[in-house]
Amino acid sequence: MLNRRRKKQIEFGKRSQSKGRYQNLGSAGLQNNILSEVGSSSLSPHNTQSLVNVSQNEMLRDYESRTKLLFDDIEPVLKEILSHQTRSGFKRWANEQLFLHLGVKLEEAAWDMDESSNSYSFFQDLFSQIVFKQFLRMSEDFFNNDPLQGQNRKEAEEIFREAGIHALDITPCADGRLAHFISYVLRLPYSVARRKAHAGALFDVSESVRNWVFIEHSRFREGMPNNAAEPTRFLKMAVYHYSKVDPSHQGCAAHGSDDKKAAEAAKAKLQDFRQAIENRFGCGSTVETMLIGLNTDNDTLKVHIPNQQGQVCLDRYIETDQLYSNATNMSASEARVLIESEIDNCNLQKNSTIPRPELKKLIAWLVTNNFSQIQYVKEYEQGLYEDIGHAERFIGIGNGFEEVQLRNLCYYSFLDTIEEGVNDIDVGIKIFKGLNVKRGLPIPIIIRCDYDGRVPGSKTRAVEKARRIEKAVHSRYQELSSCGLLQTMGTLRDNTGARPAEKLI
């Protein structure tokens, strides 16, 4: 759906008040002002839902609004600028207007239209360059200023540790409507979880096993994130999605909008992962698994409750929208008791055992966090997203992309090679043919390859990998590439700290 594209008239030479709000994206001063105004954890005593974090909602809304504007204003601003190509000193003026309205500049040479090109391809090139500039700007702000407070993970880590969990690995669907799952839907610090998105949540079991091995090795050798002697487990979470408003069309594209098929496929992957660990390393290496369904219409959840042995069942679940409604006008303590009671009742009514007490408390905490997101959608989206379908601004492929924490901003798919991730990319291209190509806009694809700055040659290998993926993308989608409707930018990031992405030269 394209109704997220804002229709408006740009008045040039003047800076609107709204533009002034995000003109300084990347300024630590702006972020500090936001945090001082709205706080970080206070709850509204007047809210009918006592567990809703009102001030956090205000902070998250501000970030979402100003960040998405950076991308949504590109098309109208650029078209208006190009309508003045005949004016004297156009290149300098164009850059001034671009910076005034979007906060970025291009090389002056970018405004020279090649004699062999036409206005159509000229617009496509400029549009993509600006999208890429805005992404790099967003990445710098995200890692340098931590606008979502995602680097503050101590409290969340303690809660997971109390639940017997030492590491969290989340695989959502690559669909952009799930990109905010960690920071918004579950209200977790992005740094507390490893995220690898795949179309249909169909993650590579072998890759997940390798990550488990790395985590467990770190526990043995370094005592990180905790000592291997502690009786804690690795938690693997898979997130499928569905739509209640339009279930036949707005569900998961990778599963033909079949909710049951999507849930079954994610559950099967979790079972395979658990079995792989136990078969290879013994039953003492058992992992925890969690299956969650996300209603992309309004960010409510279907949480499948595990039994005492950690097994999940598609028929055993609680729905957070119903719990939210039932907890209205209750005190915070009463609401928490209700949530934990419903978790137990869910299994008892299906003649199953209740989950481990520690895991039950963890699930209850995640449900509580989701209450704030339910209220967020009620307050800022009138209870239902206007863009219940796809409305992503660009495609991201590779690894990392921690800075993408907003709904419908990016279709992101984890991959090491095009061959491994071809199905995921094909789904993304199909989506963007409807979003961009049919409107004459190019498909911007950002390639990310992270590296470990402590390892000799790691950056060089990341550069080679990024270039290899970029070349393969243009080769596979040659028809789109040859006419300028597919544009790419390779990026790198040192993942040993909070460092922003860097453009591959």
Higher-confidence residue of 120 and 306: namely 306
Number of Cβ atoms within 10 Å of the Cβ of 301: 24
Q: How far is CA 318 from the centre of its chain?
A: 24
How large is the average pLDDT for residues 29-36?
37
CB-CB contact of 491 with 469 (8 Å): no
Q: How confident is the model over 271-290, as pLDDT tens digits?
A: 999 999 999 998 778 899 99
Question: Which contacts (CB < 8 Å, 24+ apart) does range 94-101 have?
Answer: 97/12, 97/13, 98/130, 100/13, 100/15, 100/19, 101/10, 101/12, 101/15, 101/19, 101/73, 101/77
Q: How many helices and strands, by DSSP H and E, does the chain display?
A: 15, 11
Q: What are the C-alpha distances in Å from 501 to residues 64, 228, 371?
A: 20, 33, 33
In this prediction, residue 418 has a pLDDT band, given cuts at 50, 70 and 90, of confident
301 CB-near residues (< 8 Å, 6+ apart): 185, 292, 293, 294, 295, 319, 320, 367, 370
Q: Is the pLDDT of residue 486 over 70?
A: yes
Task: State the pLDDT at residue 19.
Answer: 37
Higher-confidence residue of 49 and 225: namely 225
Phi/psi of residue 115, each to 5°? -60, -30
Phi/psi of residue 164, each to 5°? 85, 25
Task: State the pLDDT at residue 118.
Answer: 82
Task: State the pLDDT at residue 188.
Answer: 98
Task: State the pLDDT at residue 48.
Answer: 64
Residues noted as catalytic? 175
Category of 484 on φ-ψ map: left (φ > 0), alpha (ψ -120 to 50) or beta = left
Here the tokens at position 90 are 């156009």
Q: 291 pairs with which residues across the strands?
A: 238, 304
CB-CB contact of 413 with 421 (8 Å): yes
How large is the average pLDDT for residues 251-279?
96
CA distance 186 to 319: 14
Q: How confident is the model over 58-80, as pLDDT tens digits?
A: 999 999 999 999 999 999 999 99
Category of 98 on φ-ψ map: left (φ > 0), alpha (ψ -120 to 50) or beta = alpha
CB-CB contact of 120 with 483 (8 Å): no
Show the domains of the chain with their CATH numbers.
Answer: 1-112 (no CATH), 154-381 (3.40.1050)
Q: 411 pairs with which residues across the strands?
A: 395
The whole-model pTM stands at: 0.90
Sheet (strand 502-503) strand order: 410-414, 394-398, 443-451, 486-494, 502-503
Higher-confidence residue of 32 and 59: namely 59
Higher-confidence residue of 179 and 38: namely 179
Helical H segments across 146-281, by residue range: 154-162, 205-222, 259-281
Q: Is the pLDDT of residue 350 over 70?
A: yes
- 3-state DSSP call for residue 236? strand
Return the closest-CA partner of residue 191 out of 132, 236, 142.
142
Task: State the pLDDT at residue 113.
Answer: 85
Task: State the pLDDT at residue 320.
Answer: 99
Q: How confident is the model over 422-465, as pLDDT tens digits?
A: 999 999 999 999 999 999 999 999 999 999 999 999 999 999 99
In this prediction, residue 246 has a pLDDT band, given cuts at 50, 70 and 90, of very high
Looking at the chain, the whole-number percentage of residues with pLDDT higher than 70 is 90
How large is the average pLDDT for residues 468-491?
97
CB-CB contact of 397 with 491 (8 Å): no
Q: Is the pLDDT of residue 14 over 50?
A: no
Task: State the pLDDT at residue 445.
Answer: 99
